[in-house]
Amino acid sequence: MYSLTPLPYSEDALKPVIGIETMRTHHGKHHARYVAVMNELAGGADVPLEDLIAGARERGDSKLFANAAQAWNHAFYWHSMAPDTYTPSAELKGAITAAFGSLDTFAERFVAEGAGHFGSGWVWLTAADGRLEIVSTHDAEQPQGATPCVPLLVCDVWEHAYYLDYKNDRAQYLRAWVARLANWRFAAAQYEAAVRGAPAFRYAG
C-alpha cells in the first residue's frame, strides 16, 4: 500500500498565491484519489513507486500508469513550492543563465510553456547532462519517462490546480507561481542529483 504524501507545509502556507480551498481539494481530494485508485490497481505491489510507474509504462497498463504517475507528480509538485522565497544556488543560476539567458527569461518561457499547453498537464524544468530545459507533458506524463533527465521543478497546469483562485487565467497563476512559490532550494538539490549523482527526490509514502 502506498500512502498519500503529507504536504511539506500547512494548507494555508501558500496564500495568497494558492488559497486554502485549492490546497484542501487538490491534496485531500485529487491527490488522495490518485493514491487510492493506484492502490486498488497495484495488487499489493511492494516496490518503490518509481518502479511501479516504470513497470506500468512498460506493460502498457495505462490506468495504473496514470494514477501512479499522478501520485508521484503531485508529491513532486508539493516539494516544488515553498512558502519562503529562495533564490537558485550559484551553480544552478549559472545553468539557468547558460540555458535561457537570465532568470527573468527563464520565468517568461516557463509561463509561456505552461500557458500555451493545451489541456491538462504539467510544465517542468529538467536537467539532462547538466543542460536545463523547459518541457510540458500531457495528463500524467513525466519527462523522465520519455528521455533520461532529472526534473528540478514542476508546476501543475490541470485546472484543479488554479481554477478556484484564478478562474481560467492560467498565465496569471503561472506568473505568481514562478515569482513567489518556485522552490529553488529543492531545485538546487535536484540539480546536484543531476550533475553529481546526489540522491534525487523519491516518493515517500
Interface contacts to Fe ion, rule CB under 5 A: 156, 158, 161
Please name the residues in contact with 132: beta carbons below 8 A apart, sequence gap of 6 or more: 95, 96, 98, 99, 100, 125, 126, 152
Q: Closest distance between Fe ion and the C-beta of residue 73, in Å?
A: 8
Q: Closest distance between Fe ion and the C-beta of residue 168, in Å?
A: 16
- State the first-to-last Cα distance of the chain, in angstroms, to the nearest integer: 9
Choose between 15 and 93: whose C-beta lies nearer to Fe ion: 15
Residues 75 and 5 sit within 8 Å (Cβ to Cβ): yes
Q: Which grid cell sits at 44?
A: 499489493
Tell me which residue has its CB nearest to Fe ion.
156
Cα 197 to chain centroid distance, Å, stands at 20
Choose between 113 and 156: whose C-beta lies nearer to Fe ion: 156
Choose between 76 and 158: whose C-beta lies nearer to Fe ion: 158
Choose between 49 and 161: whose C-beta lies nearer to Fe ion: 161
Q: Closest distance between Fe ion and the C-beta of residue 34, in Å?
A: 8
Q: Closest distance between Fe ion and the C-beta of residue 30, in Å?
A: 5
Q: Which grid cell sits at 110?
A: 516557463
